[in-house]
Chain A
Amino acid sequence: MDDVFSNFDLVLKAFWMTVQLAVLSGVAAMVLGTLLAAMRVGPVAVLRTVASTYVTVVRNTPLLVMCVFVFFAAPNLGLLVGTPFLVKGTIAVGLYTAPFVAEAIRSGVNAVPLGQAEAARAIGMTFAQNMRHVVLPQAFRASVPPLASTLIAMTKNTSVVAVFGIMEATARMRYFVNRNADDTILIFVVFAIGYILLVELISLGAVGLERRWKAAR
């Protein structure tokens, strides 16, 4: 245990990597997921098919397989060669999480009464304006709880990239466990607390958003 505390800067650095991975993947997943959701509810049949195919394929693929694809298969195809590990990790986790975000937002879109979109169309809004100003803002409000769950799962999923040489929290935990075989439980507790704190921030953020939006309607 002394080993962990005397090298606590390594722990903090590892969690900082986890935070970076989570924030970057989260942003990527939210942007891509929102786009996919808009495509799925949109009027263009081709885009609807593209989006639902993406959701089906990626949501049904394990994250580890997605990581293998991004870290090993893509370079063999000449893609992502020499890309920093952090970026590769972000791409893998972001691509993997996007369909879950898309489905959470789509459930929110379905919760917006049809009359809202009709009223927007009736004053001459295009589909994009309708989405941006009327439907999605309300859909986001309705999807905060499932989105929070998705982002929490994603934050914990960043641990999968530990396998691929990124020194984030889980990789660092394994490093300490290997050096202190008789202290495994305590080391586990320290890192678990770290994850719990991170995830709790997301939960608190979600609660705050829900409270704010409840007041404004």
Chain B
Amino acid sequence: MTVTDDAPVGSGTPRSGEPLVELTEVQKYYGGLHVLQDIDLTVDRGEVVVVIGPSGSGKSTLCRTINRLEPIDSGRILVDGAPLPQEGRALARHRADVGMVFQSFNLFAHKTILQNVTLGPIKVRGLAKGEAETRARELLERVGVAQQADKYPAQLSGGQQQRVAIARALAMDPKVMLFDEPTSALDPEMIKEVLDVMVDLAERGMTMIVVTHEMGFARTAANRVVFMADGRILETTDPETFFTSPESDRAKDFLGKILKH
């Protein structure tokens, strides 16, 4: 795979290991439903954290609070030491530094693949078009869809679209990448190509928070596994411990259900 001048957060980076994303006593309600309860979570620079749990456990909501696509009711979220801004330009700047990959890809349907990747760098970062395109082509090459640069999203397979979505997020040079169930909408044979890109990203030292059901990815790429149920974090541990000897009954029950088939 081509090595490019990607995010300078490799193992040699001196700042690696210090807290990058910090959530403290985060609470969120949907009406009367307490969807995030007393969430405390710190993700260090260069760390890959996988969030798993049964559906409705609040894991996607947790992921979306970090770039304030979901506002929280109380508590504190710091990214790189700075609290999340309120709505407006400051929030837009914050979001530019936090990459997000969605379950349903959400590529801009009216733009070509190349334009999807260059739009943010040009409009948000103010890059020149040529510069943005060169960088976009490098990223598309890296995720293996360079041949599709001039097509529209609807002409690509789900796996290809999701890899473009990853390239689009990377084009902003984010400090951290959020993945909200990135493979849940994919056919089985396309899941691997997306996970390969994510593993590569993890190996390059990108800080990642990944909501997923892919236990294989959690085992190979995660530094830590966060297990959520009913809006609470029940366990935070290394993947091996979690999969071999989970502490909580909910986790045992959950693992029993998903690993049986």
Q: A129-B124, A133-B123 are in contact. Are A122 and B95 (CB under 8 A)?
A: yes
Q: A43-B87, A133-B119, A216-B152 are in contact. Are A122 and B67 (CB under 8 A)?
A: yes
- Least CB separation from A121: chain B residue: B95
**Interface flag for B227 (CB, 8 Å):** no
Q: A123-B124, A123-B172, A217-B109 are in contact. Are A115 and B87 (CB under 8 A)?
A: no
**Interface flag for A116 (CB, 8 Å):** yes
Asked whether A115 lies within 8 Å of B104 as measured between CB atoms, the reply is yes
| Chain B residues with CB under 8 A of A126 | 89, 92
- Least CB separation from B154: chain A residue: A217
Q: Mark each residue of chain A from 174 to 217: 1 if its CB lies under 8 Å from any CB of chain B, else 0.
A: 00000000000000000000000000000000000000010011
Stretch from A3-11, A134-142, A145-153, A159-167 contacting the other chain: A134-142
Q: Mark each residue of chain B from 96 to 109: 1 if its CB lies under 8 Å from any CB of chain A, else 0.
A: 11111010111111
Q: How far is the CB of B164 from chain A (nearest CB, A)?
A: 11
Most buried by B among A118, A121, A123, A216: A123
Asked whether A123 lies within 8 Å of B96 as measured between CB atoms, the reply is yes
CA distance A124 to B119 in the complex (A): 11
Asked whether B124 lies within 8 Å of A125 as measured between CB atoms, the reply is yes
Interface residues of B in 51-107 (CB under 8 A from A): 67, 69, 87, 89, 92-100, 102, 104-107
Q: A115-B102, A119-B102 are in contact. Are A124 and B172 (CB under 8 A)?
A: yes
Q: How far is the CB of B173 from chain A (nearest CB, A)?
A: 11
A/B interface sample: 20 pairs, CB < 8 A: A116-B108, A119-B100, A119-B107, A119-B108, A119-B168, A121-B92, A122-B98, A122-B99, A123-B95, A123-B100, A123-B168, A124-B93, A124-B94, A125-B92, A129-B123, A129-B124, A133-B123, A134-B119, A138-B109, A217-B152
Q: How far is the CB of A213 from chain B (nearest CB, A)?
A: 8
Asked whether B110 lies within 8 Å of A138 as measured between CB atoms, the reply is yes
Most buried by A among B95, B96, B99, B123: B123
* CB < 8 Å neighbour of B100 from A113, A122, A125, A129: A122
CA distance A120 to B108 in the complex (A): 8
- Least CB separation from A112: chain B residue: B109
Asked whether A118 lies within 8 Å of B69 as measured between CB atoms, the reply is yes
| Chain B residues with CB under 8 A of A123 | 95-96, 100, 119-120, 124, 168-169, 172
Asked whether B124 lies within 8 Å of A124 as measured between CB atoms, the reply is yes
- Least CB separation from B112: chain A residue: A216
Seen from chain A, the residues whose Cβ lies within 8 Å of a Cβ on chain B are: 43, 113, 115-116, 118-126, 129, 133-134, 137-138, 141, 213, 216-217
CA distance A43 to B92 in the complex (A): 14
Chain A contact residues: helix, strand, loop or mixed: helix
| Chain B residues with CB under 8 A of A120 | 108
- Least CB separation from B87: chain A residue: A43
Q: A123-B168, A125-B120 are in contact. Are A134 and B108 (CB under 8 A)?
A: yes
Q: How far is the CB of A42 from chain B (nearest CB, A)?
A: 11
Q: How far is the CB of A198 from chain B (nearest CB, A)?
A: 30
Asked whether B96 lies within 8 Å of A124 as measured between CB atoms, the reply is yes
CA distance A120 to B109 in the complex (A): 12
| Chain B residues with CB under 8 A of A116 | 106, 108-109
CA distance A139 to B221 in the complex (A): 40
Most buried by B among A113, A118, A119, A217: A119
Q: Mark each residue of chain B from 122 to 145: 1 if its CB lies under 8 Å from any CB of chain A, else 0.
A: 011000000000000000000000
CA distance A104 to B69 in the complex (A): 28
Asked whether A119 lies within 8 Å of B124 as measured between CB atoms, the reply is no
Most buried by B among A120, A124, A137: A124
* CB < 8 Å neighbour of A124 from B87, B92, B102, B152: B92
Q: How far is the CB of B177 from chain A (nearest CB, A)?
A: 11
CA distance A113 to B119 in the complex (A): 18
| Chain B residues with CB under 8 A of A125 | 92, 120, 123-124
CA distance A53 to B68 in the complex (A): 31
- Least CB separation from A117: chain B residue: B106
- Least CB separation from A119: chain B residue: B106
- Least CB separation from A140: chain B residue: B110
Known contacts A115-B105, A122-B95; 11 additional CB pairs below 8 A are: A115-B102, A116-B109, A119-B108, A119-B168, A122-B169, A124-B93, A124-B95, A124-B120, A126-B89, A129-B124, A217-B154
- Name the 9 nearest CB pairs between A and B, nearest first: A124-B96, A123-B120, A115-B106, A119-B106, A122-B100, A124-B124, A124-B95, A126-B92, A124-B92
